Amino acid sequence: MKNAVPATSKISKEAKEAVQECISEFISFITSEAAEKCHDEKRKTIGGEDVLYAMMLLGLEQYVEPLKIHLAKMRTPTNHNFMGPMDRDDGLNDDGEQ
């Protein structure tokens, strides 16, 4: 969150908690749809494709293609660690600029 506001700004504890609550609800919302798909297909494990399907179903299709690419990268045999913002290999900084 700190990177999204000017350097001179501060984020209150309450604001951070509110954002965390929203993120938790967002994840629960998507996971619930993915879990329903798995239940209908008599599966117990939610996979990446189930989450992507749920996102399409919920109207979040603009995020699906980038997440498909990320999921494919994560599944490559040479990728042993999560690629966080400090480990990006796409030549872009955290703001998406070169």
What are the tens digits of pLDDT across the range 41-92? 999 999 999 999 999 999 999 999 999 999 898 888 876 655 555 444 555 5
Q: Which of 41, 37, 1 is nearest to 18 (CA)?
A: 1
Amino acid at the residue 72:
A
pLDDT band at 22 (very low <50, low <70, confident <90, very high): very high
Quick one: angle between helices 64-74 and 48-57, nearest 10? 180
pTM for the model: 0.66
Distance of CA 63 to the CA centre of its chain: 9
CB 97 within 8 A of CB 90: no
Sequence-distant (6+) residues with CB within 8 A of 58 are 29, 30, 33
Distance CA 3, CA 8 (A): 11
